[in-house]
Structure 1
Amino acid sequence: MSTIQAKVTETDKFIFCLEAVPDTEHTHTTEVLKILEDIALHQNITSIYKSCDTIEGLEDSLNNLLYEDHNFKDYEIIYLIMPGEANNILINDYYYSILEIAELFEGKMKGKLIHFANQKILDLTDEESQYFLDITGARAISGYGTKRREISSISTIDRVFFGLYQENDNYKEVVEEMFQKHYNLCKLLDFRLYY
């Protein structure tokens, strides 16, 4: 687990990032970790990074954060970097539905914003999004309706989203501002927010 620290202020919102990797035993610095370090350095947003290669690893990482980290309340953004198809994530060659993820996170995400990078498509019906929010307790879930290999949300619009959210915790206003300032990119990646 890596903690990427920035100068902390009383209003900071931290990021807890979970990235699915092929094998956690082979340690190397991923693009995501480099970007989180850059965000800490240039945007003063503190994050914890953890990789997982199994669903049990994802659950253990989350439980460690919930029950071991006394600063969990400060982690308002749960950032999931997981490949997959529409409304599914892929870990260790096995697909898990968004509904299975909701059950895994059951009651553990009170007040959190769960954000998926554009490595998978997030395309929820009203019923699915409401179920996810009700089961997890999350404030909102966000992601992208388009998966484009040539454009990484991680290095582009996600960092804008996190920076704006750091300044304003009204996620509806943040999304409006994102679309005002980065309309083409938001439309191209089909940014979505369910609340």
Structure 2
Amino acid sequence: MSELEVPITDIENFIYCLEVVPDADHDETTEVLKILEDVAFNQNIASIYKACDTIEGLEQSIDNLLYNDHNFNDYEIIYLVLPGEANNILINGYYYSIEEIAELFEGKMEGKVIHFANKKILDLTDDESQYFLDVTGARAISGYGFHSEQMTSAFTIDRVFFSLFYKNDDLREVVEQMFNKHYKLCKLLDFRLYY
């Protein structure tokens, strides 16, 4: 695969990443964590990473971010690396709908961009996306229509999306730049943005 052209940001920016793992108590460096470390070093985008293995752990991680991290306003992207099927996430053997996730994040994501890695398909109707945005307060929700264990978006296009977003706050222009520079990859993974 050819090397991705990833823009470098001029100022430090932040991503809050939640990844579902089989056992959050098992201290393991996941591939996603390695990628986030590389993004911090090479793209000047810092991140807070939390692993969770239950829906309660996911909710607690969001609450800790909201109520205990005084830099919450600096995190414009909430990066969710969650397995599942179309519009459902799978945690600890249980499926949760996108509506349940919206209610879990109710009013907590004001102005944030919620970005799903391609471990699950994101295929929302206009009504579903509007419900998610209205309930959470998020500015946008993004993800992919193509799921692949072999080609994870974390290795490829997610890092481009993060850099472009922090260089340009206009989401339409960010998506346009992504498709202009990485059309084949955006089409292959079926990048989607709802706002």
> What is the TM-score of this pair, normalised by structure 1?
0.94
* 1:95 positional shift: 0.5
- Which residue identity does 1:112 align to in structure 2? K
Query: Equivalent residue of 1:118, what SS?
Result: coil
- Which residue of structure 1 aligns with residue 131 of structure 2? 131
- Which residue of structure 2 aligns with residue 84 of structure 1? 84
- Which residue identity does 1:87 align to in structure 2? N
> What CA deviation, in whole Å up to 9, does each residue of 1:147-189 have, x standing for no partner?
0222110010000000111111111110100000000000000
- Which residue of structure 2 aligns with residue 160 of structure 1? 160
Distance 1:147 1:81 in 2: 12
1:143-154 counterparts in 2 under 5 A?
143-154=143-154
* 1:8 positional shift: 8.6
Query: Equivalent residue of 1:51, what SS?
Result: strand
Number of residue-to-residue matches in the alignment: 187
> What CA deviation, in whole Å up to 9, does each residue of 1:42-68 have, x standing for no partner?
000011000000000000000000000
Q: Give the 4+ runs in structure 1 shifted more than 6 A.
A: none
- Which residue identity does 2:134 align to in structure 1? D
**Is the contact made by 1:17 and 1:50 (CA closer than 8 Å) also made in structure 2?**
yes
Distance 1:149 1:70 in 2: 35
Query: Equivalent residue of 1:50, what SS?
Result: strand
**Is the contact made by 1:8 and 1:46 (CA closer than 8 Å) also made in structure 2?**
no
RMSD, aligned α-carbons: 1.2
- Which residue of structure 1 aligns with residue 180 of structure 2? 180
Distance 1:33 1:167 in 2: 23
**Is the contact made by 1:84 and 1:90 (CA closer than 8 Å) also made in structure 2?**
yes
* 1:14 positional shift: 1.0
**Is the contact made by 1:133 and 1:140 (CA closer than 8 Å) also made in structure 2?**
yes
> What is the TM-score of this pair, normalised by structure 2?
0.94
Query: Equivalent residue of 2:49, what SS?
Result: strand
- Which residue identity does 2:131 align to in structure 1? Y
Distance 2:118 2:52 in 1: 18
Work out whether 1:23 is the aligned partner of 2:30.
no
Unaligned runs of 5+ in 2: 1-8
